[in-house]
Structures are given as C-alpha cells and as structure tokens.
Amino acid sequence: MKETTLGVSEFKAKCLHLLEEVERRGDHLVITKRGRPIARVMPVGDQLKPLRGSWEGIVKGEEDVVCFDLSGDWEANQ
C-alpha cells in the first residue's frame, strides 16, 4: 500500500484514472487544498474493523475482573 498526496486540482483532472489505481493496487490518496489535507481516498476493503469483540477467542478471562481478592498477594505492614 502506497500513500500519495496530491492537490485537489490534480485529483479533479485525473480522478477516474486515480480511482482505478486505488482499486487495482490498493493505494491510498490524500487530497489537499492549499497544502492542507481535506480527504483520504482508499479502497473499500481497507475499512477499519470494529474493536468490540476483536479479542474474542484470543483472550480468556478466568477470574472476576470486578471483585477480586489481592490480600494474599501483598504483605501488610503492621
């Protein structure tokens, strides 16, 4: 994946060709207006996956994370 930055006027002039390249090669385009980024063009398949449930099947919780006892792990100063 390659990210290319180009001005809005260049994007407008070459829009169809650039969109075909994005689809074919998976490149990302950053469109600027007066040097300031205003948009990013990327293939549809590159959308971010939601975080909820992303650790399912990878992490296993074996203890209660709300109520847990640390009394045996620490020595109390008396």
Mean pLDDT of the chain: 84
> What is the pLDDT at residue 5?
96
Using 50, 70 and 90 to split pLDDT, how confident is the model at 1? confident
- Across 1-78, the runs of DSSP E, i.e. the strands, are 3-7, 28-33, 36-41
**pLDDT mean over 49-65:** 77
> In this predicted model, which residue has the larger pLDDT, 13 or 51?
13
Q: How far apart are CA 5 and CA 46, in angstroms?
A: 18
> In this predicted model, which residue has the larger pLDDT, 7 or 46?
7
> At residue 78, does pLDDT exceed 70?
no
For strand 28-33 and strand 36-41, is the pairing parallel, antiparallel, or unpaired? antiparallel
Please answer whether residues 8 and 33 qualify as being in contact, where contact means their C-beta atoms are separated by less than 8 angstroms.
yes
Q: pTM to 2 decimals?
A: 0.56
How big is the chain, counted in residues? 78
Look up the CATH superfamily of 3-43.
Answer: YefM-like domain (3.40.1620.10)
Domain spans, the chain = 3-43
Closest CA to 37 of 2, 3, 12, 6: 6
